[in-house]
Amino acid sequence: MDLKADLGKLNAHYLTLPEVERERGVMAFAHLPPKTGNFLTAQIYDRFGEHWREGSYEVDLDPSAKKALADEILALTESTEAVPTLDDPDDPRLNLRSLARSVYKRKGSWWQLPKDFPERNPDRV
């Protein structure tokens, strides 16, 4: 089985979920491969990931903690404070790195972000 075929299997698997679940965005239900079924991606996680089947990667934050974290990240990404550029990307004084991406809320059959996620721009978030 190759990776492309397995991704097709994953797509078919997740399409069986109720629409209300899929509207939560793929990262809400597909941030890891399914723990049941014969998926190549799960076999790769078994080989190279530690304890992923036991949920050790799962972080459950209450809504107020999620909002506080989102607000902090947003403040950092929107900051105009000038920071000196360090020559060495491994310099210990560099304790935060940020990579900003724009994503479509919906792409193809999938909500990449929750359907009710507030929009900054009608086409991109």
The three-state (H, E, C) secondary structure of 43-69, written as one string: HHHHHHCCCHHHCCCCCCCCHHHHHHH
Per-residue pLDDT of 44-63, as tens digits, reads: 999 998 788 887 666 778 88
DSSP-derived letter for residue 106 is: E
CA atoms of 34 and 82, how far apart (whole Å) = 43
- 107 CB-side CA count, 13 A: 8
Per-residue pLDDT of 80-100, as tens digits, reads: 777 667 777 777 767 666 677
Neighbours of 6 (CB within 10 A): 18
Residue 67 has pLDDT above 70, yes or no: yes
Per-residue pLDDT of 7-25, as tens digits, reads: 999 999 999 999 999 999 9
Task: Report which of 102, 99, 101, 93 is spatially closest to residue 76, judged by C-alpha positions.
Answer: 99
pLDDT for the residue 96: 66
- Mean pLDDT rounded to a whole number for the chain: 83
Q: Do 29 and 17 contact (CB within 8 A), yes or no?
A: yes
pLDDT for the residue 49: 83
pTM over 0.75: no
